[in-house]
Amino acid sequence: MCVRIRTAARVIRPWDSDTNEITIPASLTPEDSALAIRAVLSELGIRQPHEGAICWCGARLTPPSIRGPS
């Protein structure tokens, strides 16, 4: 199952292994969101590329805030 990204006003657990979700503060800029996501993924042992963030399956992960309106 792919890692999912969600934003929240307050982050209590950045990584939830039960739901496979990374939670980042909604107040972060897109750049900081990417950094935060990469940091969590790296801690999970998933090697990150120079730019952006990837799931353990290799799929690109995009913070909800920079995905644009859906």
Q: Binder to Zn ion among 55, 62, 64, 65 (CB under 5 A)?
A: 55
Joined tokens for residue 23: 């939670």
Q: 19 or 27: whose CB is closer to Zn ion?
A: 19
Binding segment for Zn ion (CB under 5 A), chosen from 16-24, 36-44, 46-54, 56-64, is 56-64
Q: Strand (E) positions, 1-70?
A: 4-8, 15-16, 21-25, 53-54, 60-61
Site membership for Zn ion, residue 57 (CB under 5 A):
yes
CB 66 within 8 A of CB 37: no
Site residues for Zn ion per CB under 5 A: 2, 55, 57, 59
